[in-house]
Structure 1
């Protein structure tokens, strides 16, 4: 990884730490719409163990636990994970939630074939290069059991912020301190190579609004 991109990734980690410190529980406790959708998908697939990548302060991880799943939540912000654990205790689901500080640019500290489902809301469209994104999806594939489901969301090149702000190359643009990798559709298809691509659903979120895809893909049995 180029030095400049390494520096961007570290700057983003610091920025998220500062953001969670300044705005604890910034997204509230209501789960995201993709997490609500994923719950139905996971349940239909018979999943029990869910891994969330980029869980932040935990509104979705704690929701999955409330819905009866066993949840492993990871984020590169220790501050966000502290808030997640506090929320899990408040809501009475701490026994179903474990957390780990983890940067997705590194391999997951999990064995092969160890989880039933993986969820990542806007994690893959953070300041990750295309090469790093492929590596993350490869790690997801490694830890999923046969027939496992991966639901993720990413902002795409139809978003109004695409092509504006500070350009970092590789379709990564920075606004207000937050760097985003905007996905063209062919990248979604390429990342699903060797998977069953069940759905690519366009949706909008937030006041801008942000324009995203919600992707569901399954490992063949």
Structure 2
């Protein structure tokens, strides 16, 4: 088990439902994009305890929610069952440094809120986006959010290399505009939207890109 895996297991154990019940603004936006593209089956990477997965299921999508924290996923399943959404959400324990355990072209849309900016190397992020491309159907949308190199924490704390910095046991890979462009190679980059969140405030991008239909 990696240090970051242990960190998240401890965090979810100590703070169940730590992100609250309300969906993120990114999930509300993603649902609109996915509806527009006619999506039915949605994969969420880094679902945590499920506030966004539950929102997407309430919007009528069939959700596969993946995370590497078994504790977070157990909290998600409990909340989904309590909300009567158990049939609409499937949970998968998965480390994104490994191949996504889904078949080729098996989902209509992919969503990842603050997952790509975890403690992943640039190569691991590129490999993950390659896996997303593999499981996504032509014309499908991928919406993700990440912290940027304009963030106040960028360049501070413990430097781990590759634009990764650690604060309080939590490692973040800060995204440059160039990295966003690299990850969009071969896709249609529909939007790179800047927004702020939290007290610092954290500076983030919400990125929307779609696969060509042909």
TM-score normalized by the length of structure 2 = 0.99
Match for residue 48 of structure 2?
56
Q: 2:123 aligns with which of 131, 134, 142?
A: 131
Match for residue 156 of structure 2?
164
How far the C-alpha of 1:92 sits from its partner, in A, is 1.2
User: For 2:104, what is the secondary structure of its paired residue?
Assistant: coil
Q: 2:95 aligns with which of 103, 107, 110?
A: 103
Match for residue 77 of structure 1?
69
Pairing of 1:62-211 with structure 2 (within 5 A) = 62-211=54-203
**Over aligned residue pairs, what C-alpha RMSD do you find?**
0.7
TM-score normalized by the length of structure 1 = 0.95
How far the C-alpha of 1:205 sits from its partner, in A, is 1.0
Match for residue 23 of structure 1?
15
> Deviation digits for residues 130-170 of structure 1, max 9, x if unmatched?
00000000000000001010000000000000000000000
Q: More deviation in 84-93 or 45-54?
A: 84-93
Give the Cα separation in 1 of the matches to 2:11 and 2:202: 19
User: For 2:20, what is the secondary structure of its paired residue?
Assistant: coil
Corresponding position: 1:45 with 2:41 = no
How far the C-alpha of 1:91 sits from its partner, in A, is 1.2
How far the C-alpha of 1:206 sits from its partner, in A, is 1.3
Q: Structure 1 residue runs of 4+, over 3 Å off?
A: none
Give the Cα separation in 2 of the matches to 1:75 and 1:17: 11
Corresponding position: 1:11 with 2:24 = no
> Deviation digits for residues 14-43 of structure 1, max 9, x if unmatched?
000000000000001100000000000000
Unaligned runs of 5+ in 2: none
Q: 1:216 aligns with which of 203, 208, 213?
A: 208
